[in-house]
């Protein structure tokens, strides 16, 4: 399975560990690194032709756009890390979109009728107005649906990748994504290509053996900060990732996943 998971999963931010201890350690990049490998080879960006990001007007309603429907935004509570696999589909996964009916768009009049039918207060004056097109609705839900299906979608541009189905709300995000297809940063030593210079820099450390991130608790050092962070978990009695059934903790989410898949949670 490729490692390309193109969309970041949004877990509960409260689960962010305290990394302050990492900040106390100065990271020194060896000058040798840059003397020996001065600049990454970055070919000309042929990739950003205009067709690469033709703005489109259809916007998926399943994404993480600020939804006016609070009831639809019931975030997964509490247990973010281990629940990553059951998170809602990524916002840009266009292949799985539209369970709410964009295949047969509802007219504004139909929306109003439906809103009135579903809301006992709909007979009151229409008091919910769209700030974009000034249409008024008698119910909040009616306005919300209107905004989701029409106005918000049309007021936003979408930049789509010509190499895959990904769409982005900003050109910058699209350009960055396209680098993952073109891999413009090439290692002079082994020829391996990377999407970003700092990825290449990290890779070059595998050639030089440089490990600028040291563990304050032992004498180990790491080339990658995230790997040091994972290592620091091994020094902690209470690990970051906890099984919700047996309360056993793990230093890595992957270990928790293995634990869950091994049957602990299934058996209950």
Partner DNA sequence: CTGGGGAAGGGGCCC
Partner DNA sequence: CGGGCCCCTTCCCCA
Least distance (Å) between residue 143 CB and DNA: 26
Binding to DNA by residue 226, rule CB under 7 A? yes
Give CA–CA dist 164/2, Å, rounded: 15
Coil, strand or helix: which one is 268?
coil
Cβ distance to DNA smaller for residue 112 or 166: 166
Among the residue ranges 77-85, 96-104, 130-138, 149-157, the one whose residues contact DNA (CB under 7 A): 77-85
Binding to DNA by residue 59, rule CB under 7 A? no
Cα 247-253-257 angle, rounded to 5 deg: 75
Binding to DNA by residue 205, rule CB under 7 A? yes
Cβ distance to DNA smaller for residue 171 or 265: 171
Q: Return the closest-CA partner of residue 25 out of 212, 211, 234, 226.
A: 212
Give CA–CA dist 260/40, Å, rounded: 42
Binding to DNA by residue 197, rule CB under 7 A? yes
Least distance (Å) between residue 264 CB and DNA: 8
Question: Strand runs (DSSP E) across 138-215, as ranges?
Answer: 159-160, 167-168, 185-186, 193-194, 213-214
For residue 25, count other CB atoms closer than 10 A to its CB. Answer: 14
Least distance (Å) between residue 4 CB and DNA: 4
Binding to DNA by residue 135, rule CB under 7 A? no
Identified binder of DNA from the candidate list 149, 152, 177, 212, rule CB under 7 A: 177
Identified binder of DNA from the candidate list 67, 102, 224, 242, rule CB under 7 A: 224
For residue 235, count other CB atoms closer than 10 A to its CB. Answer: 11
Phi, psi at residue 199, to the nearest 5°? -70, -40
DSSP conformational letter for 136? E
Phi, psi at residue 241, to the nearest 5°? -110, 120
Cβ distance to DNA smaller for residue 106 or 252: 252
| Residues contacting residue 253 through CB under 8 Å, at least 6 positions apart | 81, 82, 84, 241
Binding to DNA by residue 208, rule CB under 7 A? no
Cβ distance to DNA smaller for residue 128 or 168: 168
Cβ distance to DNA smaller for residue 37 or 140: 37
Cβ distance to DNA smaller for residue 153 or 223: 223
Cβ distance to DNA smaller for residue 135 or 231: 231
Identified binder of DNA from the candidate list 69, 73, 132, 176, rule CB under 7 A: 176
State which H helix or E strand residue 242 sits in: strand 241-242
Phi, psi at residue 175, to the nearest 5°? -60, -40
Binding site for DNA (CB under 7 A): 1, 3-9, 11, 15-17, 19, 22, 80-81, 84-85, 166, 170-173, 175-177, 180, 192, 194-199, 201-203, 205-206, 220, 222-227, 229-231, 233-234, 239, 248, 250-255, 257-259, 262
């Amino acid at each position: 399975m490729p490692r390309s998971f193109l969309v970041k999963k949004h877990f509960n931010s409260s689960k962010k560990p305290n990394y302050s201890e990492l900040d106390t350690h100065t990271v020194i990049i060896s000058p040798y690194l840059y003397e020996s490998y001065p600049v990454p080879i970055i070919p000309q960006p042929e990739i950003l032709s205009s067709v690469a990001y033709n703005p489109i007007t259809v916007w998926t309603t399943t994404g993480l756009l600020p939804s006016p429907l609070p009831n639809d935004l019931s975030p997964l509570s509490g247990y973010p890390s281990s629940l990553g696999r059951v998170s809602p589909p990524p916002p840009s996964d266009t292949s799985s979109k539209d369970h709410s009916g964009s295949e047969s768009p509802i007219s504004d009049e139909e929306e109003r009728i439906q809103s009135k039918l579903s809301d006992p207060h709909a007979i009151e004056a229409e008091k919910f107005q769209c700030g974009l097109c000034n249409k008024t609705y008698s119910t909040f839900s009616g306005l919300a649906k209107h905004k989701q299906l029409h106005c918000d979608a049309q007021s936003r541009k979408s930049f789509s990748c010509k190499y895959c189905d990904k769409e982005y709300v900003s050109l910058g995000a699209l350009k960055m994504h396209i680098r993952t297809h073109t891999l413009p940063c090439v290692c002079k030593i082994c020829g391996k290509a990377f999407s970003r210079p700092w990825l290449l820099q990290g890779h070059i450390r595998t050639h030089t053996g440089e490990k600028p991130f040291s563990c304050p608790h032992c004498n180990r050092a790491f080339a990658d900060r995230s790997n040091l962070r994972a290592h620091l978990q091994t020094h902690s009695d209470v690990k970051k990732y906890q099984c919700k059934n047996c309360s056993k903790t793990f230093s890595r989410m992957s270990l928790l996943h293995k634990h869950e898949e091994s049957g602990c949670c299934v058996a209950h």
